[in-house]
A and B are shown apart, each in its own frame.
Chain A
């Protein structure tokens, strides 16, 4: 009881859910698996120290709170430091959840397997010698409660698929991939999944005869997916206030400064019904839209209750995978539409490269440098797309790229994915219209 007097704050998140995955590999069902889980994460704050306990299975919350409190108390006793303050929040109103027309649990496994088979068939275009299709479905319920009286809950359902196709010729292997994620089984009606599968197959085959470019500095056009990855990886992460407080962000002390071309506005918005949607975050804070960069001016960090109290700002971006300790995260992050058409960009760039899609990337937020691998590219000669390229990558300095943006397109598109900060995967989406950049470092063979 003596410990609890020193515990200024505690909260609990209980998550219960189930998930199904089906993997179809080269025409065969490789895996059908179903998972039922229940667990909780409990935080306690003592002075300037957090204690965190996560428990799986059948939970005794009272015991969890005591264990977390003991950790926080011991930490604070051995290394006392400045008290952590938390920005005040109100209980969120849970409304406007994504509508689900077809509950995937009402669809039989057989029907799902048949769908995957037709997706796979479509990916198997001439020249493809290996395919894989993955179906994922999860339903979960989150209940949140804190010592300062916040109490809220929601249920959400995700469904989606990913298809990959591999083509090979003379020892060269190339892959094409497509995926879509959403909120109800109707996703498979809304999206033309069979066409997407065909696209994955065609990409792999085309890439076999693609050239590897000579690297160097040049003007480039980024497609919506790659520019979205840039917005998320290079700008979004650097705007996460926990990284700023660690001294690990180039955007520290830059609020109000012109850091990008005035054409650039970057937004994080968890209220959109994209894959990064949530009604409230892992601290019970209502989700809300944040303009990170507005017309080139750095406008706001993304915050948890702790960072919002420290730096001034609004909480609502604290998230966790399952029962892990929540950290500041993005949701749906995108570069807002401009007004340029793709043809104008080609004219503007004249000689350079068009980079398409992403095979992932990494960023060093402290130094503001990044590296992304595109799925493919095209050489631009005299304002026209020419040879197809593979193994192309983009690297450089975040702020330089932001300032070298010459044109912003009017064709914003979002892509669903998962972000793995702090070893925790959470659902996100990112996007952008096409971007024309006057100078960037392209890597090749």
Chain B
């Protein structure tokens, strides 16, 4: 397949493509999963395929396949599709700069060679952790390790190959006596530096502490969002408006806002494809543009949108290295890299007289990604009294607007977490509307 990918580039040119790109990706993952406190299954997945972009007269065609026997056909289909389309005046060209920064920490030989027995041990550690807290039971969870490789080739001379690894653990816990409460915890990393036992224990502890929740009155108050909750809201209600494609098509709440004060001056947000061991770190983005660190919000001011080479070409700018593909079956589009939320850190709960601490939210994906309006159900929420968590809250809805929220941030904790690619501490927001 790998060799065929290289050959496919020549085939595309032969079929009449003026420019062509081959994206090859392969992944092998092994997962061990449990239900309640017993291991249920082990899964091995192998995937491998190519996606082909062919450009004819400024029009792009795309086809993909995972079958070696279909590559030639897919190349021809991509070229034929490009011919069907009208020339796109905004098309400039496929990327051509092939000078890549070096990145570190994204490949760990130990993860690559991890045996099934070791995977079983890590999954058991998640379960054992929950047993530290009597009165709780895990419901489901698992450990996964993965190794991937991608190769990007294009007719403008791009040739970049990268390998990476990842491990992750997830555990869902429920209380078994009295009132039912649930909680989860997860971790993802490039190497085996996650304490899986602690994840299990933490989830169980949180579920138990959430029991016997109280009802609270509707009010406007300080809300501290745990990194899980905050990253969810940022990703669903704010980030889509940074996507240059959405901006260019009139689907962003940030149109004409570059240079404006968008957030409190203490807040900066970076999109960074280069940080050590980041989940979205790699030397190049998914179309071969070198990765970079992009200040998105600097001291409260919106500095830029995020671009891939197409949207950058359309705007007469340089790509920010944000081309992304969920799989070889999709043509590239604008996506986030590692997103770093930076705000002066304090012991934020201790600094809060009264308010609410929210661990996770459900329903963030239902946010209006253009207006930034969201309405979510808070989970594992607690009242804050005199600088400490006080009582669990039974049921709580939080409504707000992501853009307003950025102007109301008043604090951040020391508890920075990597929630996938989003790296953030707990964030305190004043004057949030909550309904108990």
Residues B121-177 near A (CB distance < 8 A): 124, 137, 139-140, 172, 174, 176
Q: B123 → chain A, closest Cβ, in Å?
A: 9
Q: Which residues of B have CB within 8 Å of A33?
A: 61-64, 81, 329-331
Q: How large is the interface on B (under 10, 10 to 19, 20 to 34, 35 or more residues)?
A: 35 or more
Q: Which residues of A have CB within 8 Å of B397?
A: 215, 371, 393, 395, 441, 443
A57-B67, A58-B67, A216-B435 known; A367-B182 Cβ under 8 A: yes
Judge whether B376 is part of the interface by a CB distance below 8 angstroms. Answer: yes
Distance A373 CA – B1 CA, assembled complex (angstroms): 45
CB contact between B366 and one of A25, A250, A360 (< 8 Å): that residue: A360
Q: Which residues of B have CB within 8 Å of A36?
A: 63-67, 70, 73-74
Residues A227-264 near B (CB distance < 8 A): 242, 245-248, 250
B181 pairs with A34, CB closer than 8 A: no
Distance A96 CA – B44 CA, assembled complex (angstroms): 35
Judge whether B408 is part of the interface by a CB distance below 8 angstroms. Answer: no
Distance A27 CA – B362 CA, assembled complex (angstroms): 35
Please, what's the 1-or-0 string for B352-368, where 1 marks a CB less than 8 Å from any CB in chain A? 00000000001101101
Please, what's the 1-or-0 string for A332-360, where 1 marks a CB less than 8 Å from any CB in chain B? 00000000000000000000000000011
Interface segment among A66-74, A194-202, A406-414: the answer is A66-74
Judge whether B114 is part of the interface by a CB distance below 8 angstroms. Answer: no
Q: How large is the interface on A (under 10, 10 to 19, 20 to 34, 35 or more residues)?
A: 35 or more
B371 pairs with A130, CB closer than 8 A: no
Interface segment among B83-91, B270-278, B339-347: the answer is B83-91
Distance A215 CA – B371 CA, assembled complex (angstroms): 19
Q: Which residues of B have CB within 8 Å of A31?
A: 60, 62, 331
Q: A331 → chain B, closest Cβ, in Å?
A: 22
Q: A222 → chain B, closest Cβ, in Å?
A: 16
Q: Which residues of A have CB within 8 Å of B435?
A: 215-216, 441, 443
Distance A38 CA – B70 CA, assembled complex (angstroms): 10
Distance A173 CA – B366 CA, assembled complex (angstroms): 15
A32 pairs with B62, CB closer than 8 A: yes
Interface segment among B34-42, B197-205, B285-293, B413-421: the answer is B34-42
Q: A370 → chain B, closest Cβ, in Å?
A: 8
Judge whether A380 is part of the interface by a CB distance below 8 angstroms. Answer: no
A78 pairs with B120, CB closer than 8 A: yes
Please, what's the 1-or-0 string for A51-73, where 1 marks a CB less than 8 Å from any CB in chain B? 11111111000000001100110
Judge whether A29 is part of the interface by a CB distance below 8 angstroms. Answer: yes
Q: B429 → chain A, closest Cβ, in Å?
A: 15
Q: How many A-B residue pairs have CB under 8 A?
A: 234
Judge whether B45 is part of the interface by a CB distance below 8 angstroms. Answer: yes
Distance A144 CA – B373 CA, assembled complex (angstroms): 46
Please, what's the 1-or-0 string for A68-107, where 1 marks a CB less than 8 Å from any CB in chain B? 1001101100110100000000000000000000000000
Distance A242 CA – B140 CA, assembled complex (angstroms): 10
A38-B66, A75-B42 known; A364-B362 Cβ under 8 A: yes
A49-B41, A325-B43, A373-B366 known; A367-B180 Cβ under 8 A: yes
A366 pairs with B41, CB closer than 8 A: no
B371 pairs with A53, CB closer than 8 A: no
Q: Which residues of B have CB within 8 Å of A388?
A: none
Interface segment among B96-104, B246-254, B294-302: the answer is B246-254
Interface segment among B7-15, B46-54, B383-391: the answer is B46-54
Q: Which residues of A have CB within 8 Å of B373?
A: 391, 445
Please, what's the 1-or-0 string for B227-267, where 1 marks a CB less than 8 Å from any CB in chain A? 00000000000000000000001110100000000000000
Of the A-B pairs whose beta carbons lie under 8 Å apart in the complex, a sample of 17, sorted by A's number, is: A31-B60, A33-B329, A38-B66, A50-B41, A75-B41, A168-B370, A215-B435, A246-B36, A248-B139, A248-B140, A325-B41, A359-B368, A367-B181, A371-B363, A373-B366, A393-B399, A395-B377
